[in-house]
Amino acid sequence: MSKLVVVGTVAFDAIETPFGKTDKILGGAATFIGLAASHFNTEVGLVSVVGGDFPQEYLDMLASRSMNTDGIEIVKEGKTFFWSGKYHNDMNTRDTLITELNVLADFSPVVPENFKDAEVVMLGNLHPAVQLGVLEQTPDAKLVILDTMNFWMDSALELLHEVIAKVDVITINDEEARQLSGEYSLVAAARKIHAMGPKYVVIKKGEHGALLFHNEEIFFAPALPLEEVFDPTGAGDTFAGGFAGFIAASQDYSFENMKRAIVYGSNLASFCVEKFGTERMQTITKEEITTRLEQFQKLTSFNIPS
């Protein structure tokens, strides 16, 4: 079986949407990525850090979903990364209210010995210095995927460029692609980001789907139109986790296979938004994923009579 290393935040989130508000609940980029990737036939190893305030039951839940948690360091005297956000009425935009790095501020990632030969590495959203640290420990990776956000563009752009130059695939949302490239057109933005290093550029457009760019080719996967969207938190990470999990399981790094991977990413993300936080991600079944795959196929296939 292939191996997938996932580095990212394991966090507490407090979320407010037009439908309600939560106190501190389980969140974090690596959590959502891992929960999505665990649906595929690949060994998922999480690399992250939490504080002594992080409940053991959350770690047990991740382990019970066949994720290896040996790479999650517990800093007993520290506090877990905390993020709080509030969504606008359209649910597409949000304001970050609080970002407390806490134990993440001095984190040096350690990839467990048996994951150093992982075929696929998913650099989830966190400090680019930590992402670089993981890359140094996984020299055999056949595919490196990077996810990041404006927070790191604003606070560590130079290091972020160093990471971008080293990865094969970057997944980024439309607003951040514009910020990173200085281009409004997403086609022009993708071209510029391409030139920074990644051979594949995936631009996530929330409820409007995702675009995959490779040289002069473009592929588009829609998001599933849903009757109810409860909380979009983690949808981007879940998308990246579905993408990475599928690619790692199939060990096929071609453009054709990446098209399938972004459909799987969109598929899993469509579940994530149905409940607060990770709640829905913890109950998805294989059958539900398959049914949604059929819905995606129906949504996008058509015949034009000649």
Residue 186 CB neighbours (<10 A): 19
Asked if residue 235 binds ligand AMP (CB under 6 A), the reply is yes
Q: Rounded to the nearest whole angstrom, what is the least distance from the CB of residue 150 to ligand AMP in the complex?
A: 9
Residues 198 and 165: their CA atoms lie apart, in Å, by 7
Q: Is 237 one of the annotated active-site residues of the chain?
A: yes
Strands 82-87 and 94-100: antiparallel
Binding ligand AMP by CB under 6 A: which of 3, 5, 14, 28?
28
Number of amino acids touching ligand AMP (CB under 6 A): 17
Asked if residue 107 binds ligand AMP (CB under 6 A), the reply is no
Residues 67 and 86: their CA atoms lie apart, in Å, by 30
Contacts for 290 with CB less than 8 Å, ≥ 6 apart: none
CA distance readout (Å), 194 to 30, 80, 206: 25, 34, 21
By beta-carbon proximity to ligand AMP, the closer residue of 83 and 230 is 83
Contact region with ligand AMP (CB under 6 A), list: 69-77, 235-243, 255-263, 295-303 = 235-243
Binding ligand AMP by CB under 6 A: which of 6, 33, 122, 126?
126
Binding ligand AMP by CB under 6 A: which of 138, 233, 267, 270?
233
Binding ligand AMP by CB under 6 A: which of 78, 206, 234, 245?
234
Show the tokens assigned to 255.
Answer: 């453009």
By beta-carbon proximity to ligand AMP, the closer residue of 209 and 236 is 236
Contacts for 75 with CB less than 8 Å, ≥ 6 apart: 49, 50, 51, 52, 103
Asked if residue 48 binds ligand AMP (CB under 6 A), the reply is no
By beta-carbon proximity to ligand AMP, the closer residue of 14 and 118 is 14
Binding ligand AMP by CB under 6 A: which of 4, 11, 210, 229?
11
Binding ligand AMP by CB under 6 A: which of 40, 54, 58, 83?
83
Asked if residue 209 binds ligand AMP (CB under 6 A), the reply is no
Residues 222 and 72: their CA atoms lie apart, in Å, by 34
Asked if residue 176 binds ligand AMP (CB under 6 A), the reply is no
Residues 191 and 185: their CA atoms lie apart, in Å, by 10
Q: Rounded to the nearest whole angstrom, what is the least distance from the CB of residue 254 to ligand AMP in the complex?
A: 26
Asked if residue 237 binds ligand AMP (CB under 6 A), the reply is yes
Please tell me the number of Cα atoms within 13 Å of 296 on its side-chain side.
24
Mind telling me the catalytic residues? 237
Q: What residues make contact with ligand AMP under the rule CB under 6 A?
A: 9, 11, 13, 27-29, 83, 99, 125-126, 149, 151, 233-237
